């Protein structure tokens, strides 16, 4: 991991660099300035609610000399990276030249670039693979008044056309997130947070986990689903928090248990299978009509379940059952058969 940015020649900068070094992160791309303080944020929290934040920072653009050094460093390291994350906080570091350099070099090196945008002019991020704005940032950057999901879908398509990105992941706070890919239906991913104590850093968690997943081969929906879980863990902690792999695995296990004995849509099922395999869980699949449930069915399902960690039962459609069993079948329709199976499997 290589980190790029600017900090001050001060005590906070020293602590930050030490923390980064302790995690074996490369810091050659971090530049220090005497007259530019290390950005710090003091949060006043009462009853688990943030009521005030005091920022100490310098938002002026970096000097032309520093910009040239950073561009040289970026051109040097990108070919050896799995991908690039651009977190634009509008603090004077990600200049237009630097953004163009990242996009151009990444494109030549065939690397993904995931962008968390800050500028209302999304054309700056042309060439990104995925952009991850929140809903407010989307609303301020499109000539569309967003009142419902249809408007949000049109706004997402507008931004994809503008940036030529492959996908846009829009975070929506308590409403979770939505994923839009070229010409495809907007996919909603509801939040699965149990309790919300502090949303500080939730957006950073989303782009970090989403990018990590994409860089190792997850598709965008799987990566979004995983990042949604990670953010759900983080908002349950007070202050600027991180999420560990162990916490994600534990949360994933709980989520699998939550969706146990439920009827799932194909996309959600695919994601659960993928996540289960990523944690070395064995997935067993079987299918059938299950129109008139009897003891043989129950014994069969119990034995199938014993073969692995997760059992998925594919249920034949009414049309399929009719073809297999005759015109007078099924006796119970799909919904009824699914409900019977769900209760029996308990």
Residues linked to residue 285 through DSSP beta bridges, in sequence order = 312
Q: In whole angstroms, what is the distance from residue 48 CA to residue 196 CA?
A: 9
Residue 345: name the closest of 262, 283, 239 by CA. Answer: 262
Q: In whole angstroms, what is the distance from residue 167 CA to residue 179 CA?
A: 7
- What contacts 205, CB < 8 A, 6 or more positions away? 227, 230, 231, 234, 242, 243
Residues linked to residue 333 through DSSP beta bridges, in sequence order = none
**Cα-based torsion angle of the residue sequence 18, 19, 22, 27 in order, rounded to the nearest 10 degrees:** -70
Q: Is 204 a catalytic residue?
A: yes
Round the CA-based radius of gyration of the chain to a whole number and report it: 24
Task: Single out the catalytic residue among 14, 88, 151, 204.
Answer: 204
Residue 191: name the closest of 214, 207, 169, 175 by CA. Answer: 175
Q: In whole angstroms, what is the distance from residue 27 CA to residue 45 CA?
A: 32
Sign of the alpha-carbon torsion through 214, 216, 221, 224: negative
Q: Is the peptide bond before 330 cis (omega within 30 degrees of 0)?
A: yes
Q: What are phi and psi of 120, to 5 degrees?
A: -75, -15
Q: Which residues are catalytic?
A: 204
């Amino acid at each position: 991991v290589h980190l790029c940015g600017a900090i001050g020649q001060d005590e906070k900068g020293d602590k930050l660099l030490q923390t980064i070094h302790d995690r074996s992160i490369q810091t050659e791309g971090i530049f220090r300035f005497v007259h530019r303080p290390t950005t710090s944020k003091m949060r006043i929290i009462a009853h688990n609610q943030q009521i005030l934040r005091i920022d100490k920072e310098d938002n002026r653009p970096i000097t032309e000399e520093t910009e040239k050094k950073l561009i040289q460093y970026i051109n040097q390291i990108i070919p050896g990276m799995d991908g690039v994350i651009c977190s634009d906080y509008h603090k004077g570091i990600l200049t237009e030249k630097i953004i163009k350099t990242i996009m151009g070099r990444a494109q030549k090196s065939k690397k993904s670039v995931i962008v968390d945008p800050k500028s209302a002019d999304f054309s700056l991020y042309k060439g990104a693979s995925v952009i991850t704005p929140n809903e407010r940032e989307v609303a301020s950057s499109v000539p569309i008044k967003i009142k419902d999901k249809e408007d949000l879908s049109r706004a997402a398509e507008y931004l994809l056309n503008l940036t030529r990105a492959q996908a846009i992941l829009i975070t929506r706070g308590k409403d979770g997130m939505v994923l839009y890919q070229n010409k495809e239906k907007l996919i909603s991913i509801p939040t699965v947070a149990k309790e919300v104590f502090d949303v500080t850093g939730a957006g950073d968690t989303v782009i970090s986990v989403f990018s990590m997943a994409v860089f190792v081969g997850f598709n965008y929906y799987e990566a979004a689903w995983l990042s949604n879980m990670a953010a759900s863990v983080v908002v349950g902690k007070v202050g600027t928090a991180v999420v560990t792999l162990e916490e994600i695995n534990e949360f994933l296990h709980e989520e699998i248990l939550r969706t146990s004995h439920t009827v799932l849509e194909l996309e959600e099922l695919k994601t659960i299978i993928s996540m289960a395999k990523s944690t070395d869980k064995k997935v067993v699949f079987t299918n059938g009509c299950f129109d008139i449930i009897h003891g043989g069915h129950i014994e069969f399902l119990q034995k199938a379940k014993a073969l692995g960690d997760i059992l998925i039962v594919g249920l034949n459609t009414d049309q399929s059952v009719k073809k297999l069993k005759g015109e007078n079948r099924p006796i119970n329709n799909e919904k009824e058969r699914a409900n019977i199976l769900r209760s029996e499997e308990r």
